[in-house]
Every structure is written in C-alpha cells, then in structure tokens.
Amino acid sequence: MSFPISNERVNIMINGSRLLKHLHDLSQIGRNEVTGGINRFSFTPEEKQAIELITMYMEKAGMTVTVDAVGNIIGTYGEGRETIMLGSHIDTVPEGGKYDGALGVLAAIEVVQTIHEQQLSPAKKIEIVAFKDEEGTRFRFGLIGSRAMAGLLTQEQLLQTDASGISIEEAMKQFQLSPFPLEKVKRNDIQAYLEMHIEQGKVLENEGLPVGVVTGIAAPLWLEVTVTGVSEHAGATPMLIRQDALTAASEMILAIEHLLNDTTDSVATVGKLNVEPNGINVIPGKVTFTVDIRDIDEQKISNLENTIFKKIQKIAERRNVTLTSKVLQRVKPAKTDPMIQQQLINSIEKHGVQSYSLISGAGHDAMNIAAVAPIGMLFVRSKDGISHNPLEFSTDEDIILATNILYDSVVELAN
Ligand code: GLV
Ligand code: MN
Ligand code: MN
C-alpha cells in the first residue's frame, strides 16, 4: 500500500508501550546500579551491547542495518532514490540519563516500525543513524560520527587520545573499522534530517508545553588549559614563594565564571580537572582543566575565547606559572530549516497541541549534518530541565505524543 492521505495519518499511532520497553531495556546497558547513572562510552563492550540491541530493533522494524567506516550504525528502510534521515546517539556522558540521545534513536525506530506494520511504501528511503560518539566523553572530542558524515572530520582529529593514551583511530581499528579515507563516509544525498531529543532545559516546562520546535542550536568550543607551576614540599615551602598550579587554576576558573556572569546568552563551564601529582603533602605542580564555551553566535564564541585567554594569561603571569591552551573541539552553531520547522509545527497542531519554537542550548549531531542537509529538531519537555544526570526525566505521555508527531512528520517528509 502507498501512503494514505494526510487526515488518515494522524489516526495511526505508534506503539507506545513497545517504545517505552525499548527505552528501558537500552537504559540497562552501562547502568551503574548504585547511582542509576548510565556510562556508555564509544568503542567499549557496553557500546557494543547497545549496538547489538538497536540493530535487532532496526531489523525487526524491517530495516537493513549497515555500519559505515567510522562506526555509525545505519538502518535503511525502503528503496526510494531520495533519503530522509533520522538520527541521534546512544553513547552517554559519565553518569548520564536514559533519554539523552537514546530517545531519538528509539523513537525513530518506532516510527519506522509503525510504517512497516502499516505496510506503507514511502516514496523516499528512510534511514536511521545512531551516530558514533556524540558526547565526546572518552576522547574529549565528540560528534565524531556526524562530523564524518558531514565531511568535517579530519585525520588529525583522530589522533586525539583517551585517558589511557588510545587514539580515536586506534579505537576504531580495534573495533574492526577502517576509517580511511574519511571522505567515503561523507553524504551528499540527504534530503532532510530530523532529530527528536529531550530539551535538557526548562523552557517547555515553564511554558507548560510537551514539545517544541528547535530553530537553532548553540555550539560548543572545548579548550584544554594546562597550568604548570612547581611541585614542592607542602610543609617546607613558604606560602609567598610557591608556584602552586592549583591555586592559580582556581583563580582562573573563578575569573571565567565572573566574565560569563556579564553575558546574557553565552555560557562557559569548567567540567574536568586533573591535578598532578595529586598528593596531600605536595604542592600541585600541574593542573589541566577543560573549558566548554557555548553560544548560538559563532563570533561571540570566538570573542569569548580571546577574552578568557587574555584574562587567565594575566593570572598566570602574576602567579608565576605557565599557561598553555589547546582546542579540543570546535563546532559551528546551526539553524534549522524553515520548511522542516513548518512541517513539525503542522504535525504538532494536528495533534491538537500548541506549537512553540525555541533554541537548543545543548549540542546535537544535527549541528554537523546541517553542513550537508536541511535539518529539523523536535524537543520533548524535560522534568526540571535536568539532563546529563541520572535524574533526567520526561513523562511517558510526552514521549509517546512526541513520537506520534515525529511519525506524522516523517510520513509527510518521506512522501
Ligand atoms: C552534548 O550533550 C553536549 O551538548 O555537549
Ligand atoms: Mn548529551
Ligand atoms: Mn544528546
């Protein structure tokens, strides 16, 4: 059967209990039983297990599953010449929640499974991608799969290493992948890319609305700052002659917070700190910390990068320590496509819900795909705006409603 006419489509519903079961089952992989947090990082046994599970779901949904050269898992449905792509990620931050990324992949699979069960024949091919390493937890470098698909990943970036010195390239090879030449992963045939994701903020909750349409995505710049002082005896070194890397770094971190307190949209976070030699009775000789800077405006990110560097350089000079800074990752902010936005709005309104447009403060694979295709994003309300935390939560009702809206939009876009 080909696609039914529009007003019939809204009556076809996805299988909510199946989707919720999939969400639960995936959340058990990499779960810390004590905290409830999920730890699923790239190229690990946990990720492998998650890949096996979603591959099974994709196959049950009538999809053919392939893996591209950097490890993106791609389910394909139908044979149309044009491609509608749906996607998100299945890796997590340390102690992450069960919805970030996973929901987008599983909701997309549920949409295709519904299309399959309805025996519909979309005019366009539908692909679902679980992108390789969106979060960047393991290598302090993320969005790897979507970067590659957009032609933005370089061979040099694959040299970045994890905490035990294994590079992305080595990890890929250990996972039986042959990433080179990276150009073979690039796609130029995507007609539209759609990603459903939890909001991870409080905007929809404050508005009392279950879903929202994303207009733009703020992008992260990640820096790694190394402060080097002199490691000496904690008892025998007078206070005034110390070159303590940790007190210097502390002043820098507070200065960054101060600088950002004067801006309205930009945010910056120091989320990772490494102290050497990390001994109780040793003055810290070396400290490394990361800075995550975000804005929807690329120029503002770059201005902040300069201002922050100048400020912390002054602190380093005054405290007689040395400072180096390197860029771990830089991503371009992206705008979503007005036509896809309108399609999402139509689907939301068809379901009797008021539509609402908002910006994403969090980053998404869609940001990269924007370089090669028109993108759209549908947000689902997050409880208390909490995310990157085991307490991350969206209600079953909101999830099912959003997935029905996604279904409706995909049917329209694929026809
Ligand atoms: C991913 O969640 C990011 O925005 O860092
Ligand atoms: Mn995330
Ligand atoms: Mn995410």
Residue 41 CA to ligand 2 center (angstroms) comes to 12
Residue 197 CA to ligand 3 center (angstroms) comes to 7
Helices (H), 232-380: 245-261, 298-318, 338-350, 365-369
pTM metric for this prediction: 0.95
* Ligand 1 contacts CB of residue 201 (under 6 A): no
1 pLDDT more than 80: no
* Ligand 1 contacts CB of residue 363 (under 6 A): yes
Q: Where does the pLDDT of residue 8 fall: very low under 50, low under 70, confident under 90, or very high at 90 and above?
A: low
Nearest ligand by distance to the CA of 197? 3
Q: Pocket of ligand 1, candidates 93, 138, 269: which has the most ligand atoms within 8 Å of its Cβ, to mutate?
A: 93
Q: Where does the pLDDT of residue 264 fall: very low under 50, low under 70, confident under 90, or very high at 90 and above?
A: confident
375 DSSP β-pair partners:
193
Q: Where does the pLDDT of residue 265 fall: very low under 50, low under 70, confident under 90, or very high at 90 and above?
A: confident
Structure tokens at 365: 């694979």
pLDDT in tens, 310-346: 999 999 999 999 999 999 999 999 999 999 999 999 9
* Ligand 1 contacts CB of residue 220 (under 6 A): yes
Distance CA 270, CA 285 (A): 19
Distance CA 336, CA 103 (A): 20
> Which pLDDT does position 9 carry in this prediction?
54
Distance CA 169, CA 179 (A): 8
- Fill in the amino acid letter for 207: E
Q: Where does the pLDDT of residue 2 fall: very low under 50, low under 70, confident under 90, or very high at 90 and above?
A: low
Run of H or E including 25: helix 16-27
pLDDT in tens, 33-57: 999 999 999 999 999 999 999 999 9
Atom of ligand 1 nearest to the CA of 388: 2
Rounded percentage of the chain residues whose pLDDT exceeds 90 = 96
Q: Report the mean per-residue pLDDT for the chain.
A: 96
Residue 396 CA to ligand 3 center (angstroms) comes to 18
**What HEC string does 207-230 produce?**
HCCCEEEEEEECEEEEEEEEEECC
| Average pLDDT rounded to a whole number, residues 220-244 | 98
Q: Where does the pLDDT of residue 234 fall: very low under 50, low under 70, confident under 90, or very high at 90 and above?
A: very high
* Ligand 1 contacts CB of residue 96 (under 6 A): no
Q: Pocket of ligand 1, candidates 99, 135, 365: which has the most ligand atoms within 8 Å of its Cβ, to mutate?
A: 135
> Which pLDDT does position 4 carry in this prediction?
54
pLDDT in tens, 102-152: 999 999 999 999 999 999 999 999 999 999 999 999 999 999 999 999 999
Nearest ligand by distance to the CA of 88? 3
Structure tokens at 139: 């290598």
